[in-house]
Structure 1
Amino acid sequence: MPPSRRITLKDLARELGVSTATVSNAFNRPDQLSPALRERILGEARRLGYRGPDAKARSLRTGRTRIIAVILAESLTYSINDAVASELLSGIAEVLDAHGHTLLLLSGRQHASQTPGSASIADGFIAYGLMPPGLMASADLPAQRPLVAIDFSPEGYPTVHIDNEPSSYAIARHALRKPTRRPAIVSLRLTESPCNGRVTEDHTLLPPESSITRSRLAGFYRALEEQGFTPSDVPLWNIEENTHEVCAPVLQEILDLPDAERPDLLLCMSDRIALTALTLAEGRGLRVPEDLRITGFDGIAEGQYRAPRLTTVRQDSVEKGRIAARMILGLDEPRSQTLATELWLGDSCP
C-alpha cells in the first residue's frame, strides 16, 4: 500500500477481510461487535495509522454529528463538583460512550445568545434541573431535535423523575415517629425570586412543574399534617444553591436561634444541606440526634462515611442518566418515567 496515501476505511476493511460497515461499527457502534473483533480492528487501525471515519464527512453525508448536548441548570463548575449532578452525567456518558456519541455540556446560566450557537450542532438534548425561564422555547433550541428532561416537566417532552413526594413523605413520617416540638424545613431553590433565608408570605413559590422541591415540600407537609402540624406551624427556610458556602449562613441563622425557638428536627431537601447543618451543629456543641435530629435527601457517599451517618433518601442518579441517554439515542421508547428511591436510616435521625 503506497505510504504517501492516507489510509481509508475501505483500505482497512480490505486488509482485515471484513465489510466497511464492520469497521465503521468498531468506531461508532461498538455494541454491534464482539469485544475481540473490535479490538482486532482497532489494533490493525493503529498499526496502519488509520484514525477512524472522518467526522466532518459523515456529518455532511448523514446530517448527524453524533453529539448529544446536556443542558445543565447550574454552572458547569457547580455541576461537575456536585455529587448528584456528577453521578447523573456519569450515567449519561456511559451510554453515549457505548454507542459512539460525544457529550457536549452547556449551562442554562449562559446568556441566551450563547446557547443556540453551541447547541445547533447537537443531534439531541438532555435538560437537567431547574431551567431559566424561556430556555425551552422554540427560539432557544433547534426545532425538530429530540429532548428529554430530568427533574422538571416541560410540556410535550418525555421526563425522568424520582418519586419525590412519596419519598419525602416516607422520611418525614419516619422522623416524626419520635416526639417533635419544633420541626422545620430547609428547602432548595423553592421561590420565584432569590431567597437565601426564611420564606415568608411575601415569597411566591415556583410552580410544581418547574421544581422538584415543590413535590418534596408536599411530602413533608403530608407527614406533618398527619401529626397535627399545619404548614403555618412549621418554619420554612430556603437555600439558593446546594453548596456549603451558600447553605452555611442560612443554617447558622437557624442554629443560633434561642433554645426555645431553635428547631429540634430539620427536614432538609438535600444531603449537602443536611451535612452542613451537622457540621455547624457540632461546632456549637449541639448533640445529633439528642438535641437536634436531621434528615437529608439524595444518598451521596459523603453522608454515609461520616459519623453520625446521615438518615436520607437514596436516589439512583446514575440510572436516571442512563435512562435519559437511552431515550435520546432512540434505544428506548421516549416516555416519561419515575424511579423508586430507598429510605436509608442512619444515626442523624434514628
Structure 2
Amino acid sequence: MGVRKPTLRSVAEAAGVSTATVSYAFSRPDRVSAEARTRVLAVAGELGYAGPDAKGRSLRTGRTGAVGVIFTTGLTYAFTDPYVTAMLAGLAEALEPSRTSLMFIPFGEVSAGMAPDQVRRSVDAVHRAMIDGAVADGLDDDHPAVRVLAERGIPLVRSNETAAGPSVVIDDRQAGRDVGRHLAGLGHRDIVALVATPHEPGRVVEVTEQTPLFPYSRLRLTGLRESLPADTRLRVISGGSNSALAGQVAARAVLRGSERPTAIAADSDVLAAAVAGVARERGLWLGAGLSLTGFDDQPVAAELGLTTVRQPVHRKGFLMGRMLVDPDSERGRITLPTELVVRRSTGPAPSVRLGE
C-alpha cells in the first residue's frame, strides 16, 4: 500500500488548527498570527505538504493569481530587448503588492505566415493559460490571441493606439511627425525608415506590405510621411526581428553603394545602435556623413549620442499592470507623453548649410 499524500486537512489536524488557517498560512499570511503560521509551515514540512493545489484553488475562488503576457517575438525577447525588459519591470512593480504572478505566453508571429497547425497550437496555449488578466504589446483587435481572450472573458490591457478597450499608449503618429520635422529641418530629403518586420532584414517593404507591421510602426510611418516635404525620397526597409544582428544586416544593405540615404529613422534604439556600429565600420560620422534617429531612449541612446524619441516605458508597464489588479484606479485609455531628445547623431544633410 502506497503512502498517502498529505492534504490540507491532514496538515490542519496534525497542527491542531482549522483548514482555513492552513490555507491562509500559505496564501494569506496577513490573516494568521506569526506563531500559527510558523507551526503550520513546520508541520507541512514534516509531512511533505507543499501547499494548496493552485488549480483547485482557482476553481474554488475563480482566480488564479496570475497575469499573462502575450509574446509574438519569442520568449527570449523578454530577456534581451531593453524596451520589453523595462516594460516588464514596470508591470512587475504594479503586480508585486498583490502577490500576482507573471506568466509568459508565446504566440507565433501571424504575419510571418504561420502554418494552420502553428496557429492552432498558439491559440491552444492562450486557451489553456490559467490567468486572471493579460497584457499584450502591439497586437491588433483581430489578432487570434486577442479574440481568444475576449471569448474567455479575460481582461486585456494593450499598449497600442488601435486597441479597443483598456490601453496605455503614446501618440506614435505625433512622435513620427516630430522625427520627420527634425530631419526635414536639417535639409534631409533622402531618408530610410528602418522598422522591425517579419521579413528578412535589408529588404524594401513596399506600401502594400506595410499593413502587417506592428500598429506602432504603421503610425510612426504615417507621422513621418505627413511631416516630410513632397520632394523627399522615403524608403521603408526591414530591420528584421529588432535585434542587433538583424539590424547590422539591414544597415549594411542600406549603407552600401550609391543609394545610401542622408538619414535613417530607426524604429527602436536597438536598430539604431546596430546602424551606428556599421556606420563606424564604413567610416561615417553620425551627424555629419549620416544622420540617425532611434526610438525609446534606452541607456544605449545616451551612450551613442543618439537623437531619439523618449517614451516612459517603465511607467507604461506599471499602469498596464495597475489597470488589471485595480481596475477602479485606472480606466479606459491613458496617453503618456513623448519627447524628441536631440543629440549629436543628427546634423545638416551633406551639402546643406543651414541659415544660408
Which TM-score applies when normalising by structure 1? Answer: 0.78
Tell me the equivalent position of 1:146. Answer: 155
Tell me the equivalent position of 1:49. Answer: 41
Tell me the equivalent position of 1:196. Answer: 201
Tell me the equivalent position of 2:191. Answer: 183
The residue correspondences of 1:82-231 to structure 2 (distance < 5 A) are: 82-109=81-108, 111-117=119-125, 119-120=127-128, 121-130=130-139, 134-136=143-145, 138-139=147-148, 143-151=152-160, 153-154=162-163, 156-189=164-197, 194=199, 196-199=201-204, 201=206, 203-206=208-211, 211-225=215-229, 228-230=230-232
How big is the shift at 1:290?
1.2
Cα deviation, 1:299-332, whole Å, max 9, x if unaligned, reads 1112212xx4111011111111111111122333
> Partner of 2:193: helix, strand, or coil?
strand
Tell me the equivalent position of 2:66. Answer: 67
Tell me the equivalent position of 1:312. Answer: 308
Q: Provide the C-alpha distance between the structure 2 equivalents of 1:101 and 1:271, rounded to a whole number of angstroms.
A: 31
Q: Provide the C-alpha distance between the structure 1 equivalents of 2:154 and 2:167, rounded to a whole number of angstroms.
A: 15
How big is the shift at 1:79?
2.5
How big is the shift at 1:162?
1.0
Cα deviation, 1:38-86, whole Å, max 9, x if unaligned, reads 9x96687357526897345532321211111111121001232110011
* CA contact 1:26–1:41 (8 Å) conserved in 2: no
* CA contact 1:127–1:147 (8 Å) conserved in 2: yes
Quick one: structure 1 residues 203 and 197, their matched pair in 2 at CA, closer, same or farther if it must change by over 3 Å? Answer: farther
> Partner of 1:297: helix, strand, or coil?
strand
How big is the shift at 1:139?
4.7
* CA contact 2:172–2:216 (8 Å) conserved in 1: yes
Cα deviation, 1:144-181, whole Å, max 9, x if unaligned, reads 22111223634x43222111111221133223322324
Identity of aligned residues (%): 27
Quick one: structure 1 residues 27 and 234, their matched pair in 2 at CA, closer, same or farther if it must change by over 3 Å? Answer: same
Q: Provide the C-alpha distance between the structure 1 equivalents of 2:16 and 2:162, rounded to a whole number of angstroms.
A: 49
Please report the RMSD computed on the Cα atoms of aligned residues, expressed in angstroms. 3.5
| Residue 349 of structure 2 corresponds to residue 345 of structure 1 | no
Any stretches of 5+ residues in structure 1 without a counterpart?
14-18
Tell me the equivalent position of 1:256. Answer: 256
* CA contact 1:66–1:100 (8 Å) conserved in 2: yes
Any stretches of 5+ residues in structure 2 without a counterpart?
1-8, 45-49, 109-117, 348-356
Which TM-score applies when normalising by structure 2? Answer: 0.77
Quick one: structure 1 residues 182 and 312, their matched pair in 2 at CA, closer, same or farther if it must change by over 3 Å? Answer: same
- State the number of aligned residues: 320
Q: Provide the C-alpha distance between the structure 2 equivalents of 1:11 and 1:289, rounded to a whole number of angstroms.
A: 74
